Amino acid sequence: MLSKGIKLFLFHIVLGITVLNAAEIQVTDSDIQPGQTVTWTADNVYILNGFVFVDEGAKLYIEPGTVIKGQPGAAENASALIVARGGQIFAEGTRERPIIFTSVADDLSRTDDLPLDARGLWGGVIILGRAGLNSTPGETAIEGIPTTEPRGLYGGDNDADNSGVLRYVSVRYGGTDIGAGNEINGVTFGGVGSGTVVEYVEVVNNNDDGFEFFGGTVQAKYLVSAFNADDAFDYDEGFRGKGQFWFSLQAADKGNRGGEHDGGTSPEDGQPYATPVIANATYIGSGATSSNGKNDLVLKIRDNAGGFYYNSIFTDFWGRGVSVEDLASGEDSRARMEAGELVLANNIWYGFGRGNELDSIATQDFVREHLVANSNSITDPLLRGISRTVDNGLDPRPQAGSSAFSDVKAIDDPWFTQVDFRGAFGDDLWISGWTFLDEMGFVVKDVSSGVAGHPVASLPETIELNQNYPNPFNPSTRITYTLRTSTRATLSVYNTIGQVVAVLVDEVQSAGRHELVWQADNLPSGVYFLQLMSEGYTVTRKMILAR
């Protein structure tokens, strides 16, 4: 039998991570200048020394399989990667070759070099954009960065702002304290716009929140927030983005809320109100019988915040379900609920230390009435396995017969993937193969079969190419297609006179659904044709680029 160390070495070889003989490249703030294009490659390990900004007009490309490590340090000596307003990052990993941000103390060839509860060893990743906030004067200095640094400002009036791409990215051991209890979040979004692509991003063992959204409209799918010391997901300042397939798992002794959601503070009734739409979340707390008294709520909604949670599963918290701000006067989150701007619908609540009765899950009368009126249920979701130890026991997919496969609310928005289950997982255990959780041995290994009684969706009789979204687009668009067998696929873009302007895919790919985002940065407005060729079939879709 292979030792655990050898298995981990082989895991990294499969991921394409060079764990031996990789060159270490020291990176400082002067290495990415305004307007410059920089590429970080997988044959190097990049060491962040202090705050490293991707300045306005600059573009940072990070290859799949690249490792970036942060030096330790506090206050002005903290290490972090910050994408300033007008800068862009294209960190596009793959499931086989994720991009890893971690500490210089992390030896990726071993599992025993750092304790499982190590946190705060470096800073984190901060993305800043020009999308709108509801605070005055409309731009703010991001937390974690000294207010004297002008590149730390975020906010503006472009809700479609594009800060780039984060895909298959794992952020580990961050959250260093920069002073007075002010830690850096694992991934921070400040005024980030909807043109930015965020999917398959993990934050683990951060010393503050996993993800925090300050205003903006960024849309994110497939997020993992695990074993972080504060909230899993936090939003503030009028966040109006979208989210789907969000998963959180709190440590047994650390972690606060699954979601801490604030509307605004300066002023509290500033507009636009915070009204993000989040569907198919699974939030797992520290355990109903844990000793973590801070794990008291799934959702804390306050400061006039609204928002929408649909088709989600909330379970295994020490405290209760939800608390909604109810002030004696003025605008508050209760007012948002009564105005239909705060809706919790078709969710499953179960496994709370304070009890599984409606009165225990929600202590406020108006919240209880809302949960009943909006098809929420208190029932065991029958998850296949909750584990916070290295025993390959974590499998948050629902079992056969689970109520997660019924009472699913349809969402009338093409950005959302229409699924027939509640929670972040159906048959696809999408946290396997690329996350820290899987690499370290938390996640179950037998993921090949579907849930009994709920088989994996059948493959198409021929190849399928869906219409790109959005369409018209400017300049990025999401493309999805499905292959019937494991075979070579070619995905190309043509102009109206038949010239190839981009080859997006030309390789052997596995059977099943594939998804990518195309950036048409250098093309003029006009009509284009997207063509998929595979297995002797050809499918074409018309696209419109409107700048």
pLDDT surpasses 70 at 459: no
Whether 450 and 469 map to the same domain: the answer is no
Instruction: With CA atoms as reference, report the closest residue to 156 among 180, 144, 138, 141.
Output: 138
Domain end among 400, 424, 454: 454
Whether 354 and 216 map to the same domain: the answer is no
DSSP single-letter state for residue 360 = H
Whether 308 and 447 map to the same domain: the answer is yes
Average pLDDT over residues 324-349: 97
Q: State the Cα–Cα distance between residues 122 and 186, nearest whole angstrom.
A: 10
Whether 291 and 214 map to the same domain: the answer is no
**Predicted pLDDT of residue 515:** 87
Q: State the Cα–Cα distance between residues 179 and 181, nearest whole angstrom.
A: 6
Residue with more model confidence, 485 or 128: 128
User: What are the backbone angles phi and psi of residue 309, rounded to the nearest 5°?
Assistant: -115, 120
Average pLDDT over residues 167-186: 86
| CATH of residue 511 | 2.60.40.3080
- Cα-to-chain-centroid distance, residue 441: 21
* Terminal C-alpha separation, the chain: 58
**pTM across the whole model:** 0.81
Asked if residue 140 is part of any domain, the answer here is yes
The β-bridge partners of 235 are 213, 261
Domain end among 230, 261, 287: 230
Asked if residue 147 is part of any domain, the answer here is yes
Residue with more model confidence, 240 or 73: 240
Q: State the Cα–Cα distance between residues 358 and 371, nearest whole angstrom.
A: 9
Rg of the chain taking only CA atoms, in angstroms = 23
In 304-346 the beta strands, taken as DSSP E runs, fall at 307-310, 313-317, 320-324, 342-345
Q: State the Cα–Cα distance between residues 273 and 343, nearest whole angstrom.
A: 14
Residues 6+ apart with CB under 8 A from 302: 261, 262, 263, 323, 324, 325, 332, 333
Asked if residue 247 is part of any domain, the answer here is no
Domain interval for residue 339:
270-454
- Cβ(67)–Cβ(108) below 8 Å: yes
pLDDT tens by residue, 34-66: 999 999 999 999 999 999 999 999 999 999 999
Count CB neighbours of 136 within 10 A: 11
3-state SS record for 178-197 = CCCCCECCCEEEECCCCCCE
- Cα-to-chain-centroid distance, residue 125: 13
**Predicted pLDDT of residue 1:** 37
Whether 363 and 512 map to the same domain: the answer is no
Whether 30 and 112 map to the same domain: the answer is yes
Whether 399 and 487 map to the same domain: the answer is no
Asked if residue 365 is part of any domain, the answer here is yes
Lowest-confidence range among 200-204, 230-234, 468-472? 468-472
Asked if residue 110 is part of any domain, the answer here is yes
User: How many domains is the chain built from?
Assistant: 3
Domain end among 454, 479, 507: 454
Whether 468 and 363 map to the same domain: the answer is no
Residue with tokens 């942060």: 70
Whether 317 and 421 map to the same domain: the answer is yes
pLDDT surpasses 70 at 6: no
DSSP single-letter state for residue 241 = -
pLDDT tens by residue, 471-517: 899 999 989 888 877 788 999 999 988 889 999 999 988 877 888 99
Whether 468 and 450 map to the same domain: the answer is no
Whether 82 and 131 map to the same domain: the answer is yes
pLDDT tens by residue, 404-458: 999 999 999 999 999 999 999 999 999 999 999 999 999 998 765 444 433 344 4
Asked if residue 245 is part of any domain, the answer here is no
**Predicted pLDDT of residue 18:** 44
pLDDT surpasses 60 at 5: no
Sign of dihedral through CA atoms 253, 244, 218, 297?
Answer: negative
140-141 and 67-70 as β-strands: parallel, antiparallel, unpaired? unpaired
Asked if residue 40 is part of any domain, the answer here is yes
Whether 277 and 221 map to the same domain: the answer is no
Asked if residue 292 is part of any domain, the answer here is yes
